[in-house]
Amino acid sequence: MNDSLRHKGLRKKLVDGLKIKGIRDDKVLEAIRKVPRHLFMESSFINFAYKDQAFPIGAGQTISQPFTVAFQTQLLDIHKHDKILEIGTGSGYQAAVLIEMGAIVYTIERQKELYIKSQQLLPPIGYFPKFFFGDGYTGLPTYGPFDKIIVTAGASSIPEKLKLQLKPGGKMVIPVGGKTRQEMMLVTRVNETEFKSEKFGSFIFVPMLKGVVKL
């Protein structure tokens, strides 16, 4: 794995920038300091890996901006051994950040190309999420319930099926809105029947789409 001192230095700078932008959770900052983000990007974008920007990862998708990854992760208040469902594996970067924090990650991707690519990338560099190919709108009912759910694509509404896969006390972070802009929502399952939702500002994600895309 090519992770040089220069990459490490750039990551430290990125983390300093995230602190200035308001990321306070030390466990999140430490994970971003450790995960070699440049390995998750296409080689032509490697010089941009540690800029706080989203970049293409193939199949018309993007790796989320580091600030967005940090913000969603911070909202989830991750603890060691948390069982987490991620919708939208994409490059696998967000999954790696969660694993670095000690979480057990189940991740679903609807595009076969990315599902395959992320499985080739993550295990060799030491990250072992459980990978699934499918439509995240259904979640993983047979593997749930989960402590936390993170949706990394913009949904038009909060999927009922995902809410029901949260443990009581569990939290889901999900960007909800139209095609161009979404509101970051944090949904807490207060108990078996009650849910609470809170809003945390607007973000831009690729859309959460129904069905799967085969090769």
Contacts of 99 (CB under 8 A, 6+ apart): 105, 127, 128, 129
Q: How far is the CB of 158 from ligand SAH (least distance, A)?
A: 13
Query: How many CA atoms lie less than 13 Å away from 136 in the CB half-sphere?
Result: 26
Interacting residues with ligand SAH between 140 and 169 (CB under 6 A): 152-153
Query: How many residues bind to ligand SAH according to rule CB under 6 A?
Result: 24
Inter-residue contact 93 to 63 (CB < 8 Å): yes
Among 15, 18, 31, 88, binds ligand SAH (CB under 6 A): 88
Strand locations in 121-212 (E): 130-133, 146-151, 166-177, 182-189, 195-203
Q: Is residue 90 close enough to count as binding ligand SAH by CB under 6 A?
A: yes
User: Is 64 one of the binding residues for ligand SAH (CB under 6 A)?
Assistant: yes
The DSSP bridge partners found for residue 196 are 188
> Which listed residue (4, 43, 44, 64) is catalytic?
64
182 forms part of the interface with ligand SAH (CB under 6 A): no
Rounded least distance, CB 176 to ligand SAH, Å: 13
Known active-site residue 118 = no
Residues 6+ apart with CB under 8 A from 41: 48, 49, 55, 57, 63, 91
Toward ligand SAH, which CB reaches closer, 15 or 69?
69
Residue 32 in contact with ligand SAH, rule: CB under 6 A: no
* CB-based contact 199:184 (threshold 8 Å): yes
**Annotated active-site positions, please?**
64
The residues that touch ligand SAH, with contacts defined as CB under 6 A, are 57, 61-64, 87-88, 90-91, 93-94, 108-111, 114, 135-137, 152-153, 206, 208-209
